[in-house]
């Protein structure tokens, strides 16, 4: 297992800055996600790690080795692409063997390693088939075996599941995590899918406009976003502007149009009394009830209610506006038809962002 260090990496394409002074350390054996919207720089960063893109400045280190100037074939990385990139005229086994043949490995050793790689992704029985005889999920497993067979120092994945249907994506998420942990690979995974990142990553870096906005575990990034951009990108949230009234002991009270809310300042910073602030509250954090329920309670009424099976999306009207509440395990008609209700939220679920 190796660590990956990225030091002050910059890259521009003409007048467009793709990466701007990126600093990042990925720990040995970590499954690390680069997450962000299209054009944020995540694929450029991955291609810098693979050697397909040369940065304008900065360094990439695998362990203690500076690989910034090394060509891709000398970095010993395994790469999985969005398009699978399988040769249609070769069998599954021949596709997986390609990298070993380029390294001039002996034939008996190629057969042994290809067999092991295919068994590791549960594709051993398909060795003699061609890619067009496989499903999308099976082709993805072959691409994973091809990346693993060369015994890479790290595994690099560029939106590998975007061409699969929802059920196969769930299956392959778990498979990629299993394989990366079983082979003890440092893995860097690029995606724009928040659910993918939250479900299987060890840590996540959120990028925008070539810069890293926040790095943390899935729970940290989702529950304690450092900025409005991160909060908005990592799933649904409601924003409520206000002004800080008081702050003490890692908490703060904010005056808003819906009343006073107690919450937790973003990033562990101490909020300043009088400062403008923005509250971020996830829809699933609200609780509906017939009467006031302690702090952070809002009186209002139900508007539209959309039943989705395991949840119901509820429009809660209060203070001349409305916000969304997700009611878990709704029974009957859910919140619809209840008349006046109270919505409350725990202070731990209210994140106070700088305005």
Q: Based on the domain organization, do 79 and 168 belong to the same domain? A: yes
CATH of the domain at 247: 2.40.50.100
Report how far residue 350's alpha carbon sits from residue 30's, in angstroms, rounded to the nearest whole number.
30
Q: Based on the domain organization, do 185 and 247 belong to the same domain? A: no
Q: Based on the domain organization, do 197 and 49 belong to the same domain? A: yes
In this structure, how many other beta carbons lie within 10 angstroms of the beta carbon of residue 190?
22
pLDDT over 60 at 342, yes or no: yes
Q: Based on the domain organization, do 102 and 214 belong to the same domain? A: yes
Contact 288, 326 (CB under 8 A): no
- Identify which of 89, 130, 96, 92 has the alpha carbon closest to the alpha carbon of residue 110: 96
pLDDT over 90 at 135, yes or no: no
Residue ranges making up the domain that contains 96: 4-229
Contact 279, 261 (CB under 8 A): yes
Which pairs from 128-133 meet CB under 8 Å and 24+ separation? 128/91, 128/92, 128/93, 129/91, 129/92, 130/88, 130/89, 130/90, 130/91, 130/92, 131/84, 131/86, 131/87, 131/88, 131/90, 131/92, 131/95, 132/88
Q: Based on the domain organization, do 82 and 126 belong to the same domain? A: yes
pLDDT over 90 at 117, yes or no: no
Contact 76, 51 (CB under 8 A): no
Q: What is the pLDDT of residue 31?
A: 96
Q: Based on the domain organization, do 109 and 177 belong to the same domain? A: yes
pLDDT over 70 at 336, yes or no: no
Q: What is the pLDDT of residue 188?
A: 95
Task: Check: pTM over 0.85? Answer yes or no.
Answer: yes
Which residue among 179, 207, 229 closes a domain?
229
The arithmetic mean of pLDDT across residues 185-196, rounded, is 92
Q: Based on the domain organization, do 73 and 137 belong to the same domain? A: yes
Q: pLDDT, tens digit, for every residue of 36-46?
A: 988 899 999 99
Q: Based on the domain organization, do 111 and 170 belong to the same domain? A: yes
Report how far residue 142's alpha carbon sits from residue 126's, in angstroms, rounded to the nearest whole number.
9
Q: Based on the domain organization, do 132 and 176 belong to the same domain? A: yes
Q: How many domains does the chain have?
A: 2
- Identify which of 109, 138, 136 has the alpha carbon closest to the alpha carbon of residue 126: 138
pLDDT over 80 at 292, yes or no: no
Rg of the Cα atoms in the chain: 24
Orientation of helix 166-182 relative to helix 136-148, angle to 10°:
20
pLDDT over 60 at 344, yes or no: yes
Q: What is the pLDDT of residue 27?
A: 96
Q: Which residue has the higher pLDDT, 160 or 154?
A: 154
Q: What is the pLDDT of residue 123?
A: 87
Which residue among 199, 229, 259 closes a domain?
229
Which residue among 229, 262, 285 closes a domain?
229
CATH of the domain at 157: 3.40.50.300
pLDDT over 90 at 3, yes or no: yes
Q: How confident is the model at residue 332 (pLDDT cuts 50, 70, 90)?
A: low
Contact 92, 130 (CB under 8 A): yes
Q: How is residue 68 written in tokens?
A: 């910034």
pLDDT over 60 at 309, yes or no: yes
Q: Based on the domain organization, do 210 and 245 belong to the same domain? A: no
For residue 86, count CB atoms less than 10 angstroms from its CB and return exposed for 0-12, middle for 13-18, buried for 19 or more.
buried
Sign for the CA dihedral angle at 226, 43, 154, 125 comes to positive
Q: Based on the domain organization, do 255 and 270 belong to the same domain? A: yes
Place of tokens 């954090």: 285
Q: What is the pLDDT of residue 130?
A: 92
Place of tokens 């209610």: 305
Report how far residue 47's alpha carbon sits from residue 38's, in angstroms, rounded to the nearest whole number.
15
Q: Based on the domain organization, do 23 and 142 belong to the same domain? A: yes
Q: What is the pLDDT of residue 354?
A: 83
Q: How confident is the model at residue 337 (pLDDT cuts 50, 70, 90)?
A: low
């Amino acid at each position: 297992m190796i660590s990956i260090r990225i030091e002050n990496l910059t890259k521009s394409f003409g007048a467009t800055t793709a990466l701007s002074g990126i600093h990042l350390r990925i720990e040995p054996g970590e499954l690390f996600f680069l997450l962000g919207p299209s054009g944020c720089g995540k694929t450029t960063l991955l291609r810098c790690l693979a050697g397909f893109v040369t940065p304008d400045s900065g360094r990439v280190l695998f362990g203690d080795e500076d690989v910034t100037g090394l060509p891709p074939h000398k970095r010993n990385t395994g790469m999985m692409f969005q398009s699978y990139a399988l040769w249609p005229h070769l069998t599954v086994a021949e596709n997986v063997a390609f990298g070993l043949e380029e390294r001039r490995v002996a034939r008996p050793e190629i057969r042994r390693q290809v067999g092991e790689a295919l068994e590791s992704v549960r594709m051993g029985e398909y060795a003699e088939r061609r890619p067009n005889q496989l499903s999308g999920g099976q082709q993805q497993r072959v691409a994973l075996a091809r990346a693993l067979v060369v015994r890479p120092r790290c595994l690099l994945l560029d939106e590998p599941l975007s061409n699969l249907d929802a059920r196969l994506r769930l299956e392959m998420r778990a498979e990629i995590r299993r394989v990366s942990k079983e082979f003890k690979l440092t893995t860097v995974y690029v995606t724009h899918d928040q659910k993918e990142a939250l479900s299987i990553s060890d840590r996540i870096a959120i990028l925008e406009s070539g810069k890293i906005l926040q790095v943390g575990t899935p729970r940290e990034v989702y529950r304690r976003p450092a900025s409005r951009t991160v909060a908005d990108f990592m799933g649904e949230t409601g924003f409520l502007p206000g002004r800080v009234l008081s702050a003490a002991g890692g908490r703060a009270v904010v005056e808003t149009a819906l009343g006073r809310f107690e919450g937790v300042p973003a990033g562990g910073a101490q909020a300043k009394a009088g400062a403008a602030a923005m509250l971020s509250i996830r829809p699933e954090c609200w609780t509906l009830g017939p009467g006031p329920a302690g702090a952070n309670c809002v009186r209002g009424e139900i508007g539209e209610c959309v039943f989705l099976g395991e949840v119901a999306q509820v429009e809660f009207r209060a203070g001349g506006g409305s916000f969304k509440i997700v009611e878990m395990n709704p029974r009957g008609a859910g919140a619809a038809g209840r008349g006046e209700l109270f919505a409350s939220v725990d202070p731990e679920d209210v994140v106070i962002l700088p305005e």
